[in-house]
Amino acid sequence: MKLLRVVKLVAGYKNTIVLREVSLEVDEGEKVVIIGPSGSGKSTLLKCIVRLVEPISGKIFFKNIEVTSKNTDIKKIRQKTGFVFQNYNLFPHMTVLQNILLPLRVVKKMSREEALEKAESVLEKVGMLEYRDKYPLQLSGGQQQRVAIARALAMDPELMLLDEPTSALDPELVEEVLDILRKVAKQGITLLIVTHELDFAEDVADKIIFMENGKIIEEGPPHEILYNPCKQRTRIFLKRILKKRINSLSHNYNSSAK
């Protein structure tokens, strides 16, 4: 069953077009990773799906409900969708536990007891239960992102949107978040992930989409896109990423050797 369909989507900001007739389909339970250079429209695409950015034209369907229709109650769509941002978006004046409880009480209308049980369960899944009474600024970036993932999971989403979930983290914290996401990927939740972590993409994705200049250039299984892409633009992008990774590894090795 198609959980998500995007049809000829056009979107942008002010006088700048960011997405140019983008179309894609995501099956229920599928794990889709979107890669591409900065400014290619990846984050805008995710935001359009829950109408954090209003499209200029085109249509989006979530389980055959037209998200882009003005008659659609977008709050009901968002209740079924978890969104994990680059910069965590936790409430700094609330504890870890309170950050999880709030949407359960306000959006899901759970009782205090139900919400508490659910919050503690998801915090345990991401290894953050012992930090339940800490405030976000008392945590590392990796820990904050784990809380953000727990908050999204607590809503029992049918679709999770993850926008560069490791891009704001120090390199040594990236792997702890990726390990959590690998576990999430095994739970059967439909995932649409924007990331530059190609090893992670290869591990979890059923399909990889390469975007550039607001368009989908190529899509297919991980082994095809990462090792034998058809399009020259995809090959150029992957070579650039590989070169950056080699340079980064060389820099880290030289620094540790001093």
Contact 214, 20 (CB under 8 A): yes
Per-residue pLDDT of the chain (258 residues; tens, 9 = 90+): 899 999 999 999 988 999 999 999 999 999 999 999 999 999 999 999 999 999 999 999 999 999 999 999 998 999 899 999 888 889 999 999 999 999 999 988 999 999 999 999 999 999 999 999 999 999 999 999 999 999 999 999 999 999 999 988 888 889 889 999 999 999 889 999 999 999 999 999 999 999 999 999 999 999 999 999 999 999 999 998 877 655 554 454 454 444
What is the H or E stretch that residue 60 is in? Answer: strand 57-62
Q: According to the model, what pLDDT value does residue 253 have? A: 44
Q: Name the 3-class secondary structure at 215.
A: strand
Going from the C-alpha of 123 to that of each of 66, 129, 232, the distances in angstroms are 33, 5, 43
Token pair recorded at residue 25: 């389909």
Among 220, 225, 238, 212, residue whose Cα is nearest residue 42: 212
User: Max alpha carbon distance in the chain (Å)?
Assistant: 62
Strands (E) in 132-181, as ranges, are: 159-163
Token pair recorded at residue 104: 């359960």
Token pair recorded at residue 5: 């369909």
Token pair recorded at residue 147: 């809380």
Q: Give dist(CA 72, CA 120) in Å, integer.
A: 33
63-70 long-range Cβ contacts below 8 angstroms, 24+ apart: 63/1, 63/3, 63/158
Q: According to the model, what pLDDT value does residue 244 have? A: 64
Superfamily of domain 1-80+159-170+190-231: P-loop containing nucleotide triphosphate hydrolases (3.40.50.300)
* Sequence ranges of the domains in the chain: 1-80+159-170+190-231
Measured in degrees and rounded to the nearest 5, phi and psi for residue 204 equal -110, -20
Q: According to the model, what pLDDT value does residue 172 have? A: 82
What is the H or E stretch that residue 23 is in? Answer: strand 16-27
How many whole angstroms from its chain centre is CA 244? 22
Strand order through the sheet with 31-35: 81-84, 159-163, 190-194, 31-35, 207-212, 215-220
Amino acid in the structure at residue 143: Q
Q: Give dist(CA 85, CA 2) in Å, integer.
A: 24
Q: Name the 3-class secondary structure at 211.
A: strand
Cβ atoms within 10 Å, residue 115: 21
Q: According to the model, what pLDDT value does residue 252 have? A: 46
Token pair recorded at residue 191: 């995932």
Among 207, 243, 248, residue whose Cα is nearest residue 226: 207
